[in-house]
């Protein structure tokens, strides 16, 4: 994979959210989606930029950031809609326009925690190892380790989420195997190698050879109070946009 590889960015965000206009709420005077959109725009390897949404305000804000709008069908814009359907619909539109990505950078519009170098290095990771199906940011989390999770049995009592029959599990987090969680700020997909029938559940569209890109933390917006956390992170990372 070298010079002929076509790389496309797809920004995704729907308007039907519990928090009204979440993806375009102002953060330092810019719509929330400006931050992931700008991070990708600064990656010179990316050839085309698209945005998928059902919301005219989101499409307009992303257009101002240099993204070509894809109007998402209503059936892919419900709270229970699946991201894979959004991706597939966007790819159909791209193909109809003669754009066939080899690598697709899927950006989520409801987070500021995306850095240009993260995207660039994840793309490079796939270019260096074309057998990978995807590369995505993760964070290490031991306090909420899956082995510590509980569920309710038929009597409404707590039981281990997994069946540990015959296995001894330490109560000390440092003794447990290292646990990683996807950040859900962006995914870099190698469309040339992904086979969804063998993809890792539940995000089978990422394939079965996913390399992690570890970052310190991940955060996306669900409440108005979350905007303050976004602003704090941007300040700490010297990413506050110029007032002009």
Question: Could you read off the pLDDT of 84-143 as tens digits, one per residue?
Answer: 999 999 999 999 999 999 999 999 999 999 999 999 999 999 999 999 999 999 999 999
Locate CATH 3.90.550.10 in the chain.
Answer: 7-141+180-236
Residue owning tokens 């375009």 = 24
- Write the Ramachandran bin of 21: left for phi over 0, alpha for psi from -120 to 50, otherwise beta: left
Burial level of 137, CB count in 10 A (0-12/13-18/19+)?
A: buried
Taking Cα atoms as reference points, which of 71, 48, 52, 66 lies closest to residue 13?
A: 52
Rounded distance between C-alpha atoms, residue 110 and residue 59, angstroms? 14
Kind and range of the H or E element at 198? none
Give the single-character DSSP code of 19.
S
Report pLDDT digits (tens) over 172-189: 999 999 999 999 999 999
Q: Are 244 and 228 in contact (CB under 8 A)?
A: no
Q: The whole model's pTM is what?
A: 0.94
Rounded distance between C-alpha atoms, residue 36 and residue 54, angstroms? 18
* Mean of all residue pLDDT scores within the chain: 94
Q: Does domain 7-141+180-236 have CATH number 3.90.550.10?
A: yes
Partner residues linked to 137 by β-bridges: 213
Tell me the pLDDT band of 243, cut-offs 50, 70 and 90: low
Q: Dihedral of the CA atoms 5, 119, 88, 76 (nearest 10)?
A: -160
Kind and range of the H or E element at 138? strand 134-140
2-16: b (≥16 Cβ within 10 Å) or e: eeebebbbbbbbbbe
Sign, CA torsion 67/235/143/210:
positive
The mean pLDDT of 75-79, rounded to a whole number, is: 90
Could you tell me which residues come within 8 angstroms of residue 159 by beta carbon, excluding any fewer than 6 positions away?
Answer: 150, 151, 152, 153
């Amino acid at each position: 994979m070298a010079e002929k590889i076509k790389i496309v960015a797809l920004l995704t965000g729907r308007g039907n959210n519990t928090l009204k206009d979440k993806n375009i709420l102002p953060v330092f005077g810019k719509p929330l989606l400006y931050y992931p959109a700008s991070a990708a725009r600064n990656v010179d390897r990316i050839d085309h930029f698209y945005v998928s949404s059902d919301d005219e305000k989101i499409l307009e804000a992303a257009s101002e950031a240099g993204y070509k709008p894809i109007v998402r069908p209503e059936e892919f814009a419900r709270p229970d809609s699946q991201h894979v359907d959004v991706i597939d619909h966007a790819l159909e539109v791209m193909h109809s326009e003669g754009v066939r990505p080899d690598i697709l950078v899927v950006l989520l519009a409801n987070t500021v925690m995306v850095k240009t170098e993260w995207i660039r290095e994840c793309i490079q990771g796939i270019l260096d190892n074309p057998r990978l199906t995807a590369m995505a940011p993760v964070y290490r989390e031991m306090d909420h380790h899956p082995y510590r999770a509980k569920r309710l049995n038929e009597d409404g009592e707590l039981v281990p989420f997994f069946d540990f029959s015959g296995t001894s599990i330490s109560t000390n987090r440092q003794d447990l195997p290292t646990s990683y969680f996807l950040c859900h700020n962006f995914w870099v997909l190698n469309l040339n190698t992904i086979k969804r029938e063998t993809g890792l559940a539940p995000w089978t569209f990422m394939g079965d050879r996913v390399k992690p890109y570890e970052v310190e933390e991940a955060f996306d917006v669900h409440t108005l109070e979350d905007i303050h956390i976004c602003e704090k992170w941007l300040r700490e990372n010297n990413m506050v946009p110029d007032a002009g």
